Structure 1
Amino acid sequence: MTRNWLAVLVVATLIIALPASSVALAQESPSDAFDGTLSPQLADGEFDDAVRYDGLPSVYVTYDDGKNNSLATWAEGNTDRDIIAWDNESNRALVAASLSDLGLTRLQRTLGYGDGLASESYVEHMALNTQVGYAEPISVLDTADEYERPTYARVAAAMSTDATYDDFSGDGLAYSEDTEKSSMADVKAAVGADGLSVNGSGVRVAVIDSGLNAENMTGDPLYGDRLAAPKNTITNETGLDAVRDGNGHGSWVAGAIAADPDNTTEGEAYEGVAPGATVIPIKALSDEGSGSTQDIVEGIEHAQAENADIISMSLGSPMYNPTIAAEIDEFLANGGTAVIVAAGNSKSSPTAPLTRYISSPADAPGVIAVQATSTNNSTTAKVSYFGEVGPDNGLDASNGVTVDEAPDVAAPGMNVTAATLTDNGIRRNATLSGTSMSTPVVAGVGALMLEAQPSLENESESFRGYMMNTSARMPNAGVTETRAGLVNAENATSLTTTDEDQEDVRNDRAVARDLANRAYSGSSIVRVLTQWMPGMTVVASP
């Protein structure tokens, strides 16, 4: 322990003159993630996470208009080159080939790509095809006594002019002792979604996840006739059998949005937030909980083809994914109204400083990123101890696109019970915790909002703005934890905006956590220690 702290002090002495990086607004376009042709991951030679086909790494190649034939000709030049998928509307293809054929060996990257694909004049961008996982639910909630400050918190506090070490405590967050098991009826009451005259009818919500267990497309015990166009993008099969959910994660998410176990009873305990909405189930994650970038991209494309209004995505990765971000951007620009994404559950991991910040694609431009809270109204609700926060420090291979990103809104996501079917067709009310659980609550509120305010259809910027501006402010939450507070369906459906800003209602502990989150994110010393000295371990004090 003493030697670790000595090492920290030595490094601090060497780089004490480095200025803390200024916090800037996130850039507007996913294409800003590229500095030249290569994404930061490729430029740095980080290929370990690549999805491989026949042992060959795969990358996304964005090419100039009308140059798909040039790329096809290149692929035909060697039997070890393969075009896995084309997306000519986006001028993008998924390519598998050797690093040398791609122009990505260390020597080629150093000398300017040599004769590899990256050197071709028609290639605009190249990005890695990686695995993406669901925002894994928290199986057992921690107590307040188990909370640990993040690694290097003392360093960040020592170098900050605002934050103290005490500000890094977890006081004021929600733990197991703050969260009794709650039904969907409790959740709806907390977000003002009970007793409304709308139920999401006519709104199509695509759930990109691990699938959905349902019995029938018509007369289903949970969804009635409100299922549409199920597709498995991993196998490219359609139908309910194709999206069978051996994991249960996607089934929970869909149930929280739109399940209606007894359509003769209004306001029953396990009725989803929008029990009139239509669900488009898309299995892009395996039963083990992960899928490739391509699986997610094809899920978004399927949602767009099936005229989805809202996409719910309880999934993510610590590393920015420009391909998924670009596909989201395309969905929102071509008929989609909202993409709602889980912020992630890894903030409380003290040994993984990078994972405390909002995951990707929750940090993509235009999405609504969701934090998890206890199941209470906005006056007393607390932010979960595990929900990832902002301001993002941009150390996620985004080339600065994600800098300053943070969760936009919050919703209950701790010990929440929703109606599901197992893959054997057995009804089971499952209780889970995570931002995966709060995300479908926001998607359901979005469906209610869109039914009540149909003029917002296809108006993604206005929809996102109203979702945030009608949220109820939370005294117990910092703006780095949720920019706008707790979603409020009653306000959202009537477009009743909130007078106060979230920043103005914070209590002292929320203000302190904001100071700590900003100090940690902006600390150049923490950045150096995190990026360049991964082997150094500093035990965080309780």
Structure 2
Amino acid sequence: MTRHSRRQFLYSIGAGSVTLASLSPTTTPGITGWSPPDDAVIHSDDRPSWIVSVSGSDETEREDNLAALADWVSSGDDRESIDAREHTASGMATLIAPPGDIGVRNRERWLGEGLQSLSYIESIELNRTVSLADPLTPGTSSEWTSPGALESVLLSTFSEGVPEADGVAFDSDMEQDAMLAAREATAATSVDVTLPDTSTVTVAVGDTGVTDAAYLDDSEGNTRLLAESKNFVESNDPTGTDAVADGNGHGDWCAACLAARTPSDASLEGFLPAASVLGAKVLNDEGSGSLSDIAAGIRYAADQGVDIINLSLGSPQFSTAIDNALAYSAEQGVIPIVAAGNDRQASRWVATPASSEHTIAVGSTTVAPPEDALSAYYSNIGPHNGLTDNSGGETAGAMPDVAAPGCKLESASGDVLTGTSMAGPVAAGVAGLGVADGRISDLESAREELTRTAEPIPKAAHEEVGAGMPSAANLLSGTEPDEDQEDAETDEAAARGAAYDYLSGSRYTQLVNSF
């Protein structure tokens, strides 16, 4: 069976080189007239904060280089370290400094001295604020091809006519369902398969927080929300179940999808009703957080030994800091599962951090069995061109690995939500069953098992849904479907996928380079 996942694109950063992934050449420190972008995290005296990675072949060398970095910080009057953001094991730190102290650069290369010139510096990134993305809500199923619609214009420009929207779900094609319907669509009920005991599984929710609700209690009334849960958006990173209470509801929805235990209402039961939950509040109650907060939450979850971290968040701009944190977590055996993004009709390609090779990227479908499911109009797709996210090509070829129900879905939190944010924890729940059963132990085994056993979604293109819909029954029995996603596609889906391939490829690259 052909495995459809992201194309590997290796992009090395040698010691001494610096990547400011969030800055375009026209906004790089040192260029006349530069000022921080609106989403930069700014401290007193208009000083930005920076996320810095030091080199080192082992933890001892990284510790020595972090000490050297601390000496550099203390040698400048306008520099400060953010001690809570130093992480020796991965060689990461966050500091506050004027742009001129970081270095001066023209469009091609760094000039003169500054932090970037020090031999032990591996990467520097401007700390930015990112937010949850809400899906678009067109009112009719004809919105795709209405005159002037962005999707219609772009696809007709880069392909032979506009591919049919048959197989893509718009708002009017979505029906509200409870969590049981998502479990049924992914064959994750006791009717489909013997479900394993999930009490050995620990999932982290990197989001707006997790409220200590009754549906997270075990059978004896004890909470399964871990006391080690941590709030990264407050000063000094407070720890405890109260510290991570969710004032937004987004994180609560994800936690309930993953781990709700609802003995009085089977329709709202989560995928892993006995699992422990680590809350990592990396976004505030308004749904925004800094790259430093998110990276710190990912690293902390890894250090706590979680099995899976669910990240229902994203940005169209690549982040070296987040990618490094994900790489660290994967090295510790964690499985990062990430929403693909809700912006298909604008930024289009799989968002960061889902575009990282260190994640499993999840697209969204309607809440229906694979043979009937439709790809959601908002769900970001692949293959990524590697250009429009300032990744320097690192994300080229990134695709959704799988897609899962994520439209108008109710969890035990009481909310009915729509987005790849919802599809992510559905797929994470299936992966968690594999962890409980012993078939999945790390990121690569999770990717292999989820994609190998996924059921094809015929009405969707693999550029939209990767290998198809995760199937708990297939995964737990080791069964592969008779047909893979690409072979199962309808003609309309294949044409749509071909248009996305074309839009991602050489013609688009030529257009971008012509400006």
What is the TM-score with the length of structure 2 in the denominator?
Answer: 0.87
Q: 2:118 pairs with 117, 120, 124, which one?
A: 120
Q: Match of 2:420?
A: 435
Letter in 2 for 1:27: F
The residue matched to 1:437 in structure 2 has which SS? helix
Q: Match of 2:474?
A: 491
Letter in 1 for 2:170: Y
User: Is the 2:467–2:485 contact (alpha carbons within 8 Å) kept by the matching residues of 1?
Assistant: yes
Q: CA deviation at 1:223?
A: 8.2
Q: Match of 1:424?
A: none
Per-residue CA deviation, residues 161-217 of structure 1 (Å, 9 max, x unaligned), is xx31222x4332112332211011111111101113325221000000000122479
The residue matched to 1:356 in structure 2 has which SS? coil
Per-residue CA deviation, residues 133-177 of structure 1 (Å, 9 max, x unaligned), is 224355x4642122257648657655x5xx31222x433211233
Partners of 2:426 and 2:419 in 1: CA distance: 12
Q: 1:468 pairs with 444, 451, 455, which one?
A: 451
1:170 aligns with 2:165: yes
**Cα gap change, 1:123 to 1:202, in 2 (>3 Å):** same
**Cα gap change, 1:417 to 1:156, in 2 (>3 Å):** closer
Q: 1:510 pairs with 484, 493, 513, which one?
A: 493
Q: CA deviation at 1:248?
A: 0.5
User: Is the 2:317–2:390 contact (alpha carbons within 8 Å) kept by the matching residues of 1?
Assistant: yes
Letter in 2 for 1:400: G
Q: Match of 1:367?
A: 359
Q: CA deviation at 1:374?
A: 0.8
What is the TM-score with the length of structure 1 in the denominator?
Answer: 0.83
* Aligned pairs for 1:298-377 within 5 A: 298-336=296-334, 338-348=335-345, 352=346, 355-377=347-369
Partners of 2:256 and 2:217 in 1: CA distance: 16
* Aligned pairs for 1:160-239 within 5 A: 163-167=159-163, 169-195=164-190, 196-215=194-213, 219=217, 224-228=222-226, 229-235=228-234, 236-239=237-240
Partners of 2:327 and 2:149 in 1: CA distance: 33
User: Is the 1:34–1:399 contact (alpha carbons within 8 Å) kept by the matching residues of 2?
Assistant: no
1:415 aligns with 2:408: yes
Q: Match of 2:70?
A: 72
Q: CA deviation at 1:430?
A: 1.2
Partners of 2:458 and 2:23 in 1: CA distance: 43
Q: Match of 2:379?
A: 387
User: Is the 1:254–1:279 contact (alpha carbons within 8 Å) kept by the matching residues of 2?
Assistant: yes
User: Is the 2:244–2:280 contact (alpha carbons within 8 Å) kept by the matching residues of 1?
Assistant: yes
RMSD: 2.7
Q: Match of 2:51?
A: 60
Q: CA deviation at 1:322?
A: 1.4
1:25 aligns with 2:20: no
Gaps of 5+ in 1: 1-23, 421-428, 534-542
Per-residue CA deviation, residues 278-326 of structure 1 (Å, 9 max, x unaligned), is 1111111000101111111121122112210001000010011111111
Letter in 2 for 1:123: I
Gaps of 5+ in 2: 1-5, 29-35, 57-63
Q: 2:18 pairs with 37, 52, 55, which one?
A: 37
Q: 1:398 pairs with 391, 401, 407, which one?
A: 391
**Cα gap change, 1:532 to 1:209, in 2 (>3 Å):** farther
Partners of 2:154 and 2:211 in 1: CA distance: 48
The residue matched to 2:403 in structure 1 has which SS? strand
Q: Match of 2:33?
A: none
Letter in 1 for 2:304: E
Q: Match of 2:3?
A: none
Partners of 2:172 and 2:216 in 1: CA distance: 42
Q: Match of 1:100?
A: 100
Q: CA deviation at 1:502?
A: 0.9
Partners of 1:110 and 1:392 in 2: CA distance: 24
User: Is the 2:209–2:282 contact (alpha carbons within 8 Å) kept by the matching residues of 1?
Assistant: yes
The residue matched to 1:59 in structure 2 has which SS? strand
**Cα gap change, 1:305 to 1:68, in 2 (>3 Å):** closer
User: Is the 1:221–1:261 contact (alpha carbons within 8 Å) kept by the matching residues of 2?
Assistant: no
How many residue pairs align between the two structures?
Answer: 482
Q: CA deviation at 1:252?
A: 0.6
Q: Match of 1:539?
A: none
**Cα gap change, 1:223 to 1:414, in 2 (>3 Å):** farther
User: Is the 2:225–2:241 contact (alpha carbons within 8 Å) kept by the matching residues of 1?
Assistant: no
Q: CA deviation at 1:393?
A: 0.8
Partners of 1:33 and 1:186 in 2: CA distance: 48
Partners of 1:417 and 1:222 in 2: CA distance: 25
**Percent identity among equivalent residues?**
35
Structure scoring higher RCO (CA < 8 A, sep ≥ 6) equals 1
Letter in 1 for 2:18: T
Partners of 1:111 and 1:375 in 2: CA distance: 50
Q: CA deviation at 1:369?
A: 0.5
**Cα gap change, 1:225 to 1:494, in 2 (>3 Å):** farther
The residue matched to 1:480 in structure 2 has which SS? helix
User: Is the 1:212–1:283 contact (alpha carbons within 8 Å) kept by the matching residues of 2?
Assistant: yes
The residue matched to 1:280 in structure 2 has which SS? strand
Partners of 1:471 and 1:356 in 2: CA distance: 24
Partners of 2:168 and 2:66 in 1: CA distance: 52
User: Is the 1:392–1:404 contact (alpha carbons within 8 Å) kept by the matching residues of 2?
Assistant: yes
